[in-house]
Amino acid sequence: MNVINNIRQLRSWSTINKGARCVFVPTMGALHDGHAALIRTAREIAGQNGNVAVSIFVNPLQFGPNEDLAKYPRTLIEDLGLCRDNGADMIFAPKAEDLYPTDRSIVLQETSLSQRLCGASRPGHFDGVCTIVAKLFNLVQCDDAVFGKKDYQQFAIIRRLVRDLDFNVVLHGVETVREADGLAMSSRNRYLSPEERAQAPALRTALLAARDAWKNGERDPAALERLITQTIQDKAPSSRIDYVSAADATTLQPVTATTELVVIAVAVFFGSTRLIDNIELK
């Protein structure tokens, strides 16, 4: 497994491996079993003769001024072991100064899908995501890219990025990997106190309650949102809900009569730790 720290080395690696299918998994490190599932999926897509590339980079552009950039966990040694054990061929782990010149003056801007859900409370976040993903796609020169669907809004925006900027990259979404009690795996789960960790599975419980209501014929988005809100408040009294929102899974706009796939997304604070989750309804 090659570990690469700068752009020159990455371009050299890409030149040497030109012609072999490259499947890319972008991450911010602090890897867990959810990331391992993404790398294994990439390995399956790449096949025996392809390459799996993983980036480990905590992107400063997607953190707001009061967010957790400074304390975001950085566990590179452990991350490299997880990548190796799950079939990665190359790790790109640059420093911020390698990707962002001090006089940089260009960023990408998303103006539609980022206006609701997480984007509403994290202004500029998805502009930072789009900028780094575009840079990494250009640098890695991948044929495919694998993303988890836990951050549903991010996946939808990157899908739009690929479409609107004509990247020749095939995207693959992987279902959320969960703990035994249903909590979505996240690097931020380590911040939860024991009491908060015990209550955090309420997010999944609430989403499943909405799915059951949907199966029983409930089609009113507001009613589903109220059901989820009440369930979280009952089962996680120490939490603070940021949002509960039913949306069109493609546009992330409010559900209409023509919506084919509904996604209900939630974001909930436990202390200063913000957790997200979602469920698709069709």
Distance CA 208, CA 228 (A): 9
Question: Cβ atoms within 10 A of the Cβ of 103, count?
Answer: 5
Q: What is the DSSP letter of 254?
A: P
Distance CA 115, CA 253 (A): 9
Residue/partner pairs of 168-171 with CB below 8 Å, 24 or more apart: 168/143, 169/24, 169/137, 169/142, 169/143, 169/144, 169/145, 170/143, 170/144, 170/145, 171/144, 171/145, 171/146, 171/147
- DSSP string over 230-248: HHHHHH-TTEEEEEEEEEE
Distance CA 228, CA 209 (A): 7
Residue 264, classed as helix, strand or coil, is strand
Angle value at C-alpha 124, between 118 and 127, nearest 5 degrees: 100
CA-to-CA dists, residue 136 to 7, 201, 263, angstroms: 10, 34, 28
Using alpha carbons only, how large is the chain's radius of gyration in Å?
Answer: 19
Which residue of the set 32, 35, 125, 172 is catalytic?
35
Indicate if 32 belongs to the active site. Answer: no
For 239, what's the count of Cα atoms within 13 Å in the CB-facing half-sphere? 28
Distance CA 277, CA 9 (A): 37
Give catalytic residues, as residue numbers. 35
